[in-house]
Each structure stands twice: as C-alpha cells, then as structure tokens.
Amino acid sequence: MFRRAAVLLFLLCLNIRYFWSKGIIRPAVKILDAPTNDVYETILALSKDKGFSRLGDAFVNLVYSSAKSRSSGRPFGGKVPDKILSRSLSMSGVKVPSRLNHGERGDIVEGALAYAWTNDLLTLEEAVGVVESGLRGMKCESRKEEEEAAAKAFAVLFLTAMSRICGPGTGA
C-alpha cells in the first residue's frame, strides 16, 4: 500500500515538472526571471506568488512524509502545519516583511522550496535527506520535540534553497 502511494506521488511530481517545463503550468505572478542577489527582494517576490506556494505546499508535505517514513521505518503521510514552517523561517534568521501571519510566513518557505525545485536548484531526494537527518538527529519523544526538529530541518532546507536561488555569499 505504501509503495503504491509513493509511486503515485512520484508520478504526480514527474507530471508537474513535465508540464512546468513545457510552460503549460505557470504561477499566477511571474517572479525572478533572473535570480537576484538581494535575499529580501526575493522573499518579497516569493510572498506575492501564490502559484509557487501552492506547489510548495504539496512538495513540503511529500518531503516531510517521505522523511518521517524513512526515519521511523514505517509508512507515514501527513501535512506540515504553517506554524512549523513559520517557526523554520524565524530560525533561519532571514529578514522577512513584518506583520505576516503563520500562513503567509509558511507560504514564503513553501514558495522558495518550490521555486528551487522547479528550477533544478534542489532535488526531491536532497530535500528528503535534509529533513530525514534533522528528524533522526533529535530524540522525538513528544509531539513538541518532533515539531521543533521539523522546524530546524526545514530552516536548513530553506537556507539551502535561498542560497541557491540568490547565489553564494548572499547571507542566506
């Protein structure tokens, strides 16, 4: 059952990437034709793009479910709450626009990861590996500890994506 679901999710991701590369699927707002070295400007652009954040939502959930399944040794399928992604954005130390709620802050993380993935700056396997190592590195005996470990892992993943989007030496 788990393998069948994993194969279906993988095929869905392949289809999304194919249609994306052919220009059939595009975000509502076009961002970053050429990567900018300004992390804050990139964050602003990502916060306005709902297409990347929607795609990123599915990508983040797939990454988390795969990582948790690998680290626990049994199948898991779940969603990552915006509160965890918001916490990971705070942990990253990247300057973000003020007065954003958890959902908007989570959209920034999801958008950055989706942008990096669709532009071949980040692979699914690499993302799963980062989150899996974060989950294995912590003793997740309670829900709170697991959420903290996930937030730290996504902060590392977000910083990796932002450094590749904006280029090296940008402080991301």
Output the domain CATH number for residue 83.
1.10.1520.20
28-85 tens-digit pLDDT: 334 444 344 577 888 888 778 889 989 999 999 999 999 999 988 889 999 999 999 9
Domains in the chain: how many in total?
1
For 127-146, b/e burial (b = at least 16 CB within 10 A) is bbbbbbebbeeeebeeeeeb
104-151 tens-digit pLDDT: 999 999 999 999 999 999 999 999 999 999 888 666 678 888 899 999
Instruction: Write down the pLDDT at residue 61.
Output: 97
The model's pTM is 0.75
**Domain contains 172:** no
**Domain contains 171:** no
9-32 tens-digit pLDDT: 444 454 555 544 555 444 433 444
Domain range holding 100? 2-166
